[in-house]
Structure 1
């Protein structure tokens, strides 16, 4: 389903997708951790790569990929996923369940949404 409107909401860190009378907001973080790229999805079921430390990720750019998708680029260097219309609609309709699943997977792995601090030890 092709959205009737697409807006980037930098202050609320989300993109807003309109489908007729329905409007959905997808956070930059959700979009990043559920990127359709092989880097995130892996190469087959069970090979997904848990994305950690993406709480403050910023969307740098969004551009059309033909007439079927959006190419998103994030400030952590990730820019390889093409978000086709069907996948974006899926994220909109299932974001609560997907978000809960993501948080559970982070907890199970002992990981965090927060960006990891780098510790430098004096030599």
Structure 2
């Protein structure tokens, strides 16, 4: 996980909008993003989602209705959300939140393309976790 880049924008406000399921983030450079909970969940920086290296990402499905049940600060550089599906191992640095906001449209298109290539729907249930590894991803 990347830390804070020197001189990078930092959040001035974070607002959880439960009903519309978005996290609104206003940064020090004036940029403001409304990040859907589903986007945050499917792009969680956790090993459970990202795997342990390139090409090991785990395609997330069934996250359309996911909500945030908690949002905890991590030092002065990140937040750790807890999602309604129990996922709570992703730490979102300010840099990563900014990148998600800035690239939201491209990331969403990439997600939809990955779903199509896998022949699954956004609302398909996640396959059972296998393996016995702590991250549950393999």
- TM-score, normalising length: structure 2: 0.81
Q: Distance in 2 between matches of 1:23 and 1:12?
A: 16
Deviation at 1:22, TM superposition (A): 2.7
Instruction: Name the structure 1 match of 2:65.
Output: 56
The number of residue pairs the alignment matches comes to 116
Instruction: Name the structure 2 match of 1:15.
Output: 23
Unaligned ranges ≥5, structure 2: 1-8, 126-138
Instruction: Name the structure 1 match of 2:51.
Output: 42
* Contact 1:15 1:27 survives alignment (8 Å): yes
Instruction: Name the structure 2 match of 1:92.
Output: 101
Q: What RMSD, in angstroms, separates the aligned Cα atoms of the two structures?
A: 1.0
Q: 1:4 aligns to what SS in structure 2?
A: strand
Q: Distance in 2 between matches of 1:8 and 1:115?
A: 26
Q: Distance in 2 between matches of 1:109 and 1:70?
A: 31
Q: Distance in 2 between matches of 1:89 and 1:23?
A: 9
Moved over 4 A (4+): none
Deviation at 1:4, TM superposition (A): 1.1
Q: Distance in 2 between matches of 1:22 and 1:81?
A: 23
- TM-score, normalising length: structure 1: 0.90
